[in-house]
Amino acid sequence: MEKLKEKILTEGRVLPNNVLKVDSFLNHQLDPPFLMEIGQEFAKRFYAKNPNKILTVEASGIALALMTGYIMKIPVVFAKKRRGTIPDNFYHAKIFSYTRQENIFITVDRKYLTPNDRILIIDDFLATGEATRGLIEIVNTAGATLVGVGIAIEKSFQAGASFLSSLGVPTESLVKIKSLDRGKIEFL
Amino acid sequence: MEKLKEKILTEGRVLPNNVLKVDSFLNHQLDPPFLMEIGQEFAKRFYAKNPNKILTVEASGIALALMTGYIMKIPVVFAKKRRGTIPDNFYHAKIFSYTRQENIFITVDRKYLTPNDRILIIDDFLATGEATRGLIEIVNTAGATLVGVGIAIEKSFQAGASFLSSLGVPTESLVKIKSLDRGKIEFL
């Protein structure tokens, strides 16, 4: 998606440890019309997979998932992050949060994920793949069908991309980043 | 907003301690077309105040704020919740989280809030008013102008409503709940 590349080049900042900050339109400040364009792009790429529900994880995934759900006319469920005890009525998966440098749980109320569901996972970033792995684990535990994974920004040099590829899950990354070495953004 | 009242009556659940769960369309699962209608309603009520930016707090505020920002064609900033040290480049306010039963900070990067901004605060619930109070504190610290507060569901019997009223801030609550006593939802 050319426009996303341009936004990343003009507004993104590379921080140490291969962190790409896109706080001005995706992760802290949100650019609603642009996020709607991203939703349209995801919808176009996944209509044929016929999902009936979108799954994402709070907080940064919500905006993209919501816009995609709006275009596709299907509900969105966002997994919640928790520490400590998980109530019995929640599916859960343990993931390692690199931002927080600790293990956390992501959880989804069993009511909102059933074996009849055809799930499209949407998220802002694919890096180590921890969040996506956790979401897929929850989809599998629920006995739902995973029809695809839509990622806005894939850091192709980290483990998540090859993990998803090894699973054979249909994945669409709107932008793929080959390298952030020496603060320079290089697309694949 | 009649449709929101109906949704609350048909899908909401009252839990102990005056908690109203609207997980099926607002706080865990999201109903995108309905949230767009809420965004349209907020936009209608606040156009005349001429905001140039919307401020909310993660995670549940994001969906409503995004739809309102989409209709009004203005950016959205969501405050992030944190514990521990706050980086120098963030405005912050300490609030008590009733969900977590602890003090947390809500924070906004100074870059995204300036004295030229005319801020509309949007949030899903107004109960004790802690989150709203924190957001207003941040707006004031930044020297920005607060033009209004839009709330989807006001629990009028808790402290937040009278706190906002005492400040004289233009507040629009789409639904006002008078009481949740004995598990019964009574509107004002």
- Write the pLDDT tens digit of every residue in A93-149: 999 988 788 999 999 999 999 999 999 999 999 999 999 999 999 999 999 999 999
Distance, in Å, from the CA atom of A40 to the CA atom of A125, rounded to the nearest integer, reads 18
The pLDDT assigned to B24 comes to 97
Burial readout B135-157 (b: 16 or more C-beta within 10 A, e: otherwise) = bbbbbeebebbbbbbbbbbbbbb
pLDDT at A152 over 90: yes
pLDDT at A48 over 90: yes
Q: What distance lies between CA B119 and its chain's CA centroid?
A: 13
B35, B65, B70 ranked by CB distance to A36: nearest: B70
Task: Identify whether A153 is part of a domain.
Answer: yes
**Model confidence band, residue B91 (pLDDT cutoffs 50, 70, 90):** very high
B25-52 residue pLDDT tens: 999 999 999 999 999 999 999 999 999 9
Assigned token pair, B114: 């300036």
* Residue (of B154, B11, B37, B131) closest to B80 by Cα position: B131
CA angle centred on B30, ends B25 and B32, rounded to 5°: 105
Task: Identify whether A124 is part of a domain.
Answer: yes
Q: What SS3 class is residue A69? A: helix
**Model confidence band, residue A83 (pLDDT cutoffs 50, 70, 90):** confident
The pLDDT assigned to B100 comes to 80
The pLDDT assigned to A100 comes to 80
Residue A63 with chain B: CB contacts under 8 Å: 62-63, 66
* Residue pointed to by tokens 């300036």: B114
| Interface A:B, Cβ pairs < 8 A | 96
Mean pLDDT of chain A: 96
The pLDDT assigned to A101 comes to 87
CATH code where residue B49 lies: 3.40.50.2020
Which residues form the domain of B163?
Answer: 2-187
B46-82 residue pLDDT tens: 999 999 999 999 999 999 999 999 999 999 999 999 9
Beta bridge partners of B126: B154
Q: How far is A115 from chain B (nearest CA, A)?
A: 17
Mutate to test the interface with B, among A21, A24, A29 (most CBs of B within 10 A): A29
B35, B77, B108 ranked by CB distance to A66: nearest: B35
Start-end of H helices in chain B: 2-11, 32-46, 61-72, 130-142, 159-167
pLDDT at B84 over 90: no
Kindly list the distances between the CA atom of residue B160 and the CA atoms of A65, A87, B157, in Å, as whole numbers in the listed order. 30, 29, 9
Kindly list the distances between the CA atom of residue A73 and the CA atoms of A39, A43, A65, A188, B35, in Å, as whole numbers in the listed order. 11, 10, 12, 32, 12
| A157 interface with B at CB cutoff 8 Å | no
| A23 interface with B at CB cutoff 8 Å | yes
| A73 interface with B at CB cutoff 8 Å | yes
Q: Based on the structure, what is the number of domains in chain A?
A: 1
CB-CB contact of A140 with A167 (8 Å): no
Asked whether the CA dihedral B13, B18, B22, B28 is positive or negative, the reply is negative
